[in-house]
Amino acid sequence: MKQEIFDKLKALFQKYAPPLTVMMDTDERYDLYSKKEVELFGRAYKEIYFGSAILKPKYLGFYFMPVYVFPEMLKNVPEALKKLQTGKSCFHIKKYDADIFKSIEKLMKEGFEMYKKHKYV
């Protein structure tokens, strides 16, 4: 069951590759980055992390950097998804919920648009 959830989250991320670059693609982890030099929080980076799907024994980790860089994005996140948040940009998903995945899909689209707007992509 968790593998199916991972595959669904990975499929949402895959919509953005390209232009984003896949840095890891295994049965348990999928990472996306933008291969663009950016300055963030006063520091220069050769690339910027976008997000990951990481399959853990008890949950699926959804890691999403745009909400860390632009915390105002979380204002419009539904409560059901906020309840899964375990850090500034980390969410732990334990079961498939279509509404939560719709919220994640919307959040990804907004995050990608924010990255484009700020020329991170």
Ranges of each domain in the chain? 2-117
Q: What integer pLDDT is reported at residue 9 of this predicted model?
A: 95
- The CATH architecture to which 2-117 belongs is Alpha-Beta Complex (3.90)
Q: What is the DSSP pairing of strand 48-55 with strand 38-40?
A: unpaired
Q: What integer pLDDT is reported at residue 43 of this predicted model?
A: 87
Q: What integer pLDDT is reported at residue 100 of this predicted model?
A: 93
Q: Could you report the per-residue pLDDT of 33-58, keeping only the tens digit for each?
A: 999 888 888 888 899 999 999 999 99
Q: What integer pLDDT is reported at residue 37 of this predicted model?
A: 86
Q: Name residues of the chain where pLDDT drops below 70.
A: 1
